[in-house]
Chain A
Amino acid sequence: MNPFSYTRPEAVADALNDIGQQPNAKFIGGGTNLIDLMKVNVEHPTHLVDVNHLPLGDITELPDGGLRLGASVTNADTAWHPLVEERYPLLSKTILAGASPQLRNMATNGGNLFQRTRCYYFYDAQMSCNKRQPGSGCPAINGYNRIHAIVGMDKAECQNPNSKTACIATHPSDMCVALAALEAVVRVTGPNGDRSIPMADFHRLPDTDPQRDNTLEPGELVTSIDLPAKGFPKHFTYVKLRDRSSYAFALVSVAVGLEMDDNGTITEARIAMGGVAHKPWRKSEAEQLLIGKPATDETFRAAAESLLDGAVGFGHNTFKIELGKRAIVRALQEAIS
């Protein structure tokens, strides 16, 4: 871990100023990911700007019936917030499926969006890694890739053993999977003013620059995550499959929100997956396959096939293709009951 300086601004403008002062400055929320990465010599910020004293620590109702989750509210406080529990139980359930109570007590909503992949090679600074050290190669593709992606990567690049851009990392967050299903919007502010980024556009696929996890620009600060009014409080679930029953990242996970009419026909559907791609994985085609259909296992399987259409395995993670489909079916079964 390198030496660094630290400030704890109380105004957003000061935070933006602080972050702009040094090229290698970073925000810090709960520090549960950033500090780990600094300790293993992967991140080397020379300055840290603490966001916890900014006025971003509230959960407030929005005029359109939605909810605004402040960036520095902890994951625990978010999950247990009465309005979240009532209107967005999917989000509560999903957050509580992640990490451990201690981590959730520290982790912030803003930080959760930015947590980095758990790829073993990314975490080991002595290994090459296109994400950590662009152009150095991706040892995961022919190495140990149990927790890696099955969709969303550049397949041709992944077949090239010397590829300088290939990456099959996954985004590890649980929370973000629910946020994707709920079509949350990330609000940011920065040197060029405020903007809103829909969840679908917030994280990115590796493309030719896997070093970039998301579309945030340098110097930008996340201020809140806004949830639209529709929260699927009746028909929802989060299925998380992992190697032990707690304190493990998802091998595959599925967040589902459904609306159904009185005949049991699905009228609206959201399915997002974690553990399979560089970002929470959604496909409107798959969701469309459910609309107007009776809630049967055949319908569910068809949606599952569609969502994971074209999935590829790299050896250790190949099981995710079938497991992922079964998890989708299970999640839909749970959501309708």
Chain B
Amino acid sequence: MIGQPISRVDGPAKVTGKAKFAAEFNVPNLTYGVVVTSAIAKGRIVGIDDREALAQPGVRMVMTHKNRPKLARLDLNYKDQDAPAGSPFRPLQDDKIFYSTQPIALVVADTFEMARYAATLVKVAYHEEAHETDLQANLSEAHNPAAGPVNLFKPLPPKPRGNAQQAYMEADKRVSGEFVHQAEHHNPMEMFATTAVYEAPKRGEKPRLTIYDKTQGAPNSQLVVANGLNLPFKNVRVISPFIGGAFGSGLRPQYQLLLASMAALELKQSVRVSLTRDQMFTMGFRPATVQKIALGAQADGTLSSVYHQAIAETSHREDYTETVVNWSGELYKCDNVALDYQLVSLDVYSPQDMRAPGGVTGVSVLEVAMDEMAYEVGMDPLEFRIKNFTSWDQTHDRPYSSKEILACYREGAERFGWARRTPEPRSMRDGNVLVGWGMASGVWMADQIPARAEAVLGVNGKLRVSSATADIGTGTYTIMTQIAAETLGLPIDDVLFRLGDTDMPLAPIQGGSWTAATVGNAVRVVCEDLGKKLLKLAAQMPDSPFKKAKSTDVQFVDSHMRLVGDPSVAISLRDIVALNGGKAVRETSTSIPNMLKQSRYTRYTHSAIFAEVRVDPDLNVVTVSRLVGAVAAGRIINPKTARSQIIGGMVWGLSKALHEESVRDNNVGRFMNHNYAEYHIPVCKDTPDMDVIFVEEHDDVVNPMGIKGLGEIGQVGTPAAIANAIFHATGKRVHDLPITLDKLL
């Protein structure tokens, strides 16, 4: 079962419309909230005229900072699992405007249409102050980031080692450059929405809310609603069975969650708030960065110095950080490394984790610089990387738990045909069209954290497993079903995995590519524990052949428990449940990482991406014609969903390289291309055939199952591979992403 290309178990529900998303749960007497956003980027609200809006038939309320229900005061109450250091934004807190398009009112009406219309009638007067949203103009204001608990998973730069500056001066070859990446928005297909179902309080109690939310962690939404609105946790249930993509945007509760919950409490009625596509640009985003890199190498291609600095934007409220530069001190062997990461606080919403946060940002720069250096030292870019390979993480002075990147290079290059590459820029053509081949390495974390799961074997012999995790389209439902089915020897159809409900055992937010490892091991453990319970039950039968068996003496296959020594001695799982007095057998377990073992190793996934581009020599239109990704990610549970993850990541890498950019007009302090027509992601015609290779990699350090996670690694190396291919095709180095055709003119 594990290792099989099983099709998504949730696929039929999704394509037939049975799968319900947050805005699709209908309840009686539902009202609809539409958000009004700020027209200015900084200042104060001095007046809100809601008379015309309130005069419309069916309009229930215009909720603003003046009439909202009471909110908790302390920042602590709004700290979600992914909150950086600082003061989290909460909607309608007071009259202050922190950023353009900030939510400032919620219009609630009996119909969505009326709420939307009435929202256009709310007139707001502001006292405007000068704003700053320009990262490049404010680099001198950069500060060292404040650290928070999340930095456990998103480390800030380590101390320097050796003397990078001196080594750079003494190097035979040097490359350096500045790189600017623009902001990007996650833009999942499904827009953020919350349906907050109100239940009147029983005598002496507080009301209850059942909340259908778009989130990457139902417990995370529960945390903020309960704390922020001062409700007991048991009065807040969050349900989120399906998510139409999130890419990190759902790692923190979005503002519609609190707005819908506040309105429901205020109106004592159920409220749905769904955001518009435009409003998907009014929340967290991948921050713009300005990066500087300088590499030194000896004539023989030995990397001798790495300096990498990133300056990123953040809000005035929080120091959002991501790990941008650390990779540059880890991926290759180098004795002299200096890394620096700083923030500039601007009048913007706090940036937020977006697929491969920091990783794709920093590695895109390192890997372009590596390509430049390969040309400087006159080596093939792939050979140059192989030469500087290391299996020892010099930053943490410890080995990698596994790092099969050499196999990625080898197998990827072979599949791509890299050996046929001629190194000279502009040397490969197809007719008149310039052809370029480029490659880059990729790296991402392979974390595992604690999680809980429940397994219930029903009287019908079917297994139900649950954990309050999420499936943002990655395939969590499917691979958890596989793991459970394999562990207890059941066919896929006899296993039902459920997720996304705070009534289920706790799991962390679904991010960082850790869900497969984290929840996967929890599912494994709970099924094993359930197996032990089943053994105990079977052993209690009169004359049981399992009487003396230990858990290692039995195996679960074909819906039976069998003795390992004599598989003909067997009992069906259904018969075991029958021994339980007609009751289902249940177990809840926690999987806890072996931190002692893990801490002795650096645990990462790796990849090598190869790209072919075609460039029109006069018009500079760039087409990516081939992408090959070779990935070392430990054990692959499901090659089909795994491949989809990598392909999705590579498409996004292509998007970052060529298309994607949230364009800010700093005069008005707002992102201006706030719709799908103008915020470009690749269409089918832009995406080439993609080849994905999973190289063999065994790793029993990362977690008992050897799973590494695949959510982000596909994206990390792709932009640099494409940028390097464009250089090879055209002879032009473009450092600023996205590489639009005007930058090649």
Write the residues of chain A forming the contact surface with B, with a CB cutoff of 8 angstroms.
Answer: 1-3, 39-41, 118, 120-121, 123-127, 139, 142-144, 146-147, 241, 243-249, 251, 319, 322-323, 326-327, 329-330
Report chain A residues within 8 Å CB of B677: 118, 248-249
- 9 extra interface residue pairs, beta carbon distance < 8 Å, beyond A1-B120, A246-B686: A126-B39, A143-B668, A143-B672, A144-B664, A144-B673, A146-B663, A243-B741, A323-B745, A327-B619
Which residue of the partner chain, among B113, B672, B683, contacts A120 with CB atoms under 8 Å?
Answer: B672
Report chain A residues within 8 Å CB of B623: 245
A243 pairs with B674, CB closer than 8 A: no
Report chain A residues within 8 Å CB of B621: 241
A124 pairs with B619, CB closer than 8 A: no
Question: Nearest Cβ in chain B — how far from A127, in angstroms?
Answer: 7
A1-B278 in contact given A246-B683, A246-B685 (Cβ < 8 Å):
no
Interface centre among A147, A319, A327 (most CB of B within 10 A): A319
Q: Does B667 contact A (CB under 8 A)?
A: yes
Q: Can you give 26 contacting A-B residue pairs, CB < 8 Å?
A: A1-B116, A120-B672, A120-B678, A124-B672, A127-B668, A139-B667, A143-B667, A144-B663, A144-B673, A147-B678, A241-B619, A241-B621, A243-B741, A244-B680, A244-B683, A244-B685, A245-B623, A246-B686, A247-B683, A248-B680, A249-B677, A319-B741, A323-B619, A323-B741, A323-B742, A326-B619
Question: Nearest Cβ in chain A — how far from B745, in angstroms?
Answer: 5
Question: Nearest Cβ in chain B — how far from A245, in angstroms?
Answer: 4
Which residue of the partner chain, among A2, A118, A247, contacts B120 with CB atoms under 8 Å?
Answer: A2
B618 pairs with A118, CB closer than 8 A: no
A322-B745 in contact given A2-B120, A245-B623 (Cβ < 8 Å):
yes
Question: Nearest Cβ in chain A — how far from B434, in angstroms?
Answer: 15
Give CA–CA (A251, B686) in the complex, Å: 17
Report chain A residues within 8 Å CB of B117: 1-3
Give CA–CA (A168, B523) in the complex, Å: 60
Q: Does B659 contact A (CB under 8 A)?
A: yes
A124 pairs with B674, CB closer than 8 A: yes
Give CA–CA (A322, B672) in the complex, Å: 25
A245 pairs with B683, CB closer than 8 A: yes
Q: Does B682 contact A (CB under 8 A)?
A: yes
Give CA–CA (A285, B120) in the complex, Å: 48
Question: Nearest Cβ in chain A — how far from B366, in angstroms?
Answer: 27
Give CA–CA (A126, B677) in the complex, Å: 19
Report chain A residues within 8 Å CB of B742: 319, 323
Question: Nearest Cβ in chain A — how far from B139, in angstroms?
Answer: 20
Report chain A residues within 8 Å CB of B278: 40, 124
Q: Does B300 contact A (CB under 8 A)?
A: no
B668 pairs with A139, CB closer than 8 A: yes
Give CA–CA (A123, B676) in the complex, Å: 13
Q: Does B165 contact A (CB under 8 A)?
A: no
Q: Does B665 contact A (CB under 8 A)?
A: yes
Which residue of the partner chain, among A120, A245, A247, contacts B673 with CB atoms under 8 Å?
Answer: A120
Give CA–CA (A1, B120) in the complex, Å: 8
A121-B619 in contact given A3-B117, A126-B39, A246-B683 (Cβ < 8 Å):
no
Give CA–CA (A323, B667) in the complex, Å: 27
Give CA–CA (A291, B674) in the complex, Å: 45
Interface centre among A118, A147, A244, A329 (most CB of B within 10 A): A244
**In residues 270-303 of chain B, which contact A (Cβ within 8 Å)?**
276, 278
A-B interface, 3 closest residue pairs, ranked by CB to CB distance from nearest:
A319-B742, A120-B672, A126-B39
Question: Nearest Cβ in chain B — how far from A241, in angstroms?
Answer: 6
Q: Does B559 contact A (CB under 8 A)?
A: no
Give CA–CA (A144, B667) in the complex, Å: 9
Report chain A residues within 8 Å CB of B151: none
* Total A-B contacts with CB atoms under 8 angstroms apart: 85
Report chain A residues within 8 Å CB of B390: none
Which residue of the partner chain, among A118, A243, A245, contacts B685 with CB atoms under 8 Å?
Answer: A245
Q: Does B598 contact A (CB under 8 A)?
A: no
Question: Which residue of the partner chain A has the closest CB to B124?
Answer: A126
Q: Does B590 contact A (CB under 8 A)?
A: no
Report chain A residues within 8 Å CB of B673: 120, 144
Question: Nearest Cβ in chain A — how far from B169, in angstroms?
Answer: 38
Give CA–CA (A326, B621) in the complex, Å: 12
Give CA–CA (A42, B116) in the complex, Å: 14
Report chain A residues within 8 Å CB of B176: none
Give CA–CA (A246, B687) in the complex, Å: 11
Report chain A residues within 8 Å CB of B663: 120, 144, 146
**In residues 667-706 of chain B, which contact A (Cβ within 8 Å)?**
667-668, 670, 672-675, 677-678, 680, 682-686
Interface size counted on chain B using CB atoms at 8 A:
37
Report chain A residues within 8 Å CB of B672: 120-121, 124, 143-144
Report chain A residues within 8 Å CB of B674: 124
Q: Does B740 contact A (CB under 8 A)?
A: yes
Question: Nearest Cβ in chain B — how far from A9, in angstroms?
Answer: 24
Report chain A residues within 8 Å CB of B682: 244
Interface centre among B621, B665, B685 (most CB of A within 10 A): B665
Give CA–CA (A323, B409) in the complex, Å: 38
Question: Nearest Cβ in chain A — how far from B99, in angstroms?
Answer: 13
B675 pairs with A144, CB closer than 8 A: no
Question: Nearest Cβ in chain A — how far from B697, in angstroms?
Answer: 35
Question: Nearest Cβ in chain A — how far from B398, in angstroms?
Answer: 44
Question: Which residue of the partner chain A has the closest CB to B116?
Answer: A1
Report chain B residues within 8 Å CB of A118: 677-678
Give CA–CA (A329, B617) in the complex, Å: 13
Question: Nearest Cβ in chain B — how far from A321, in angstroms?
Answer: 10
Which residue of the partner chain, among A120, A243, A319, A330, contacts B618 with CB atoms under 8 Å?
Answer: A330
Question: Nearest Cβ in chain B — how far from A162, in angstroms?
Answer: 14
Report chain B residues within 8 Å CB of A143: 665, 667-668, 672
Report chain A residues within 8 Å CB of B659: 243-244
Question: Nearest Cβ in chain B — how far from A114, in angstroms?
Answer: 17
B667 pairs with A241, CB closer than 8 A: no
A245-B113 in contact given A143-B672, A319-B745 (Cβ < 8 Å):
no
Interface centre among B37, B658, B667, B742 (most CB of A within 10 A): B742
Question: Which residue of the partner chain A has the closest CB to B101?
Answer: A126
Report chain A residues within 8 Å CB of B664: 144
Report chain B residues within 8 Å CB of A2: 117, 120
Which residue of the partner chain, among B619, B686, B740, B745, contacts A330 with CB atoms under 8 Å?
Answer: B619
Report chain B residues within 8 Å CB of A244: 658-659, 680, 682-683, 685-686
Report chain B residues within 8 Å CB of A3: 113, 117
B741 pairs with A241, CB closer than 8 A: yes
Report chain B residues within 8 Å CB of A319: 741-742, 745
Question: Nearest Cβ in chain B — how far from A273, in angstroms?
Answer: 14
B618 pairs with A326, CB closer than 8 A: yes
Report chain A residues within 8 Å CB of B116: 1
Report chain A residues within 8 Å CB of B740: 243
Question: Which residue of the partner chain A has the closest CB to B687?
Answer: A245
Report chain A residues within 8 Å CB of B620: 323
Report chain B residues within 8 Å CB of A125: 120
B741 pairs with A245, CB closer than 8 A: no
Report chain B residues within 8 Å CB of A247: 683
Report chain A residues within 8 Å CB of B668: 127, 139, 143
Give CA–CA (A326, B617) in the complex, Å: 11
Question: Which residue of the partner chain A has the closest CB to B37?
Answer: A126
Question: Which residue of the partner chain A has the closest CB to B114?
Answer: A3
B618 pairs with A142, CB closer than 8 A: no
Flag B717-745 by CB within 8 Å of A: 1 or 0 each. 00000000000000000000000111001
Question: Nearest Cβ in chain B — how far from A48, in angstroms?
Answer: 15
Report chain B residues within 8 Å CB of A329: 618
Give CA–CA (A3, B116) in the complex, Å: 10
Give CA–CA (A329, B618) in the complex, Å: 10
Report chain B residues within 8 Å CB of A120: 663, 665, 672-673, 678
Report chain B residues within 8 Å CB of A126: 37, 39
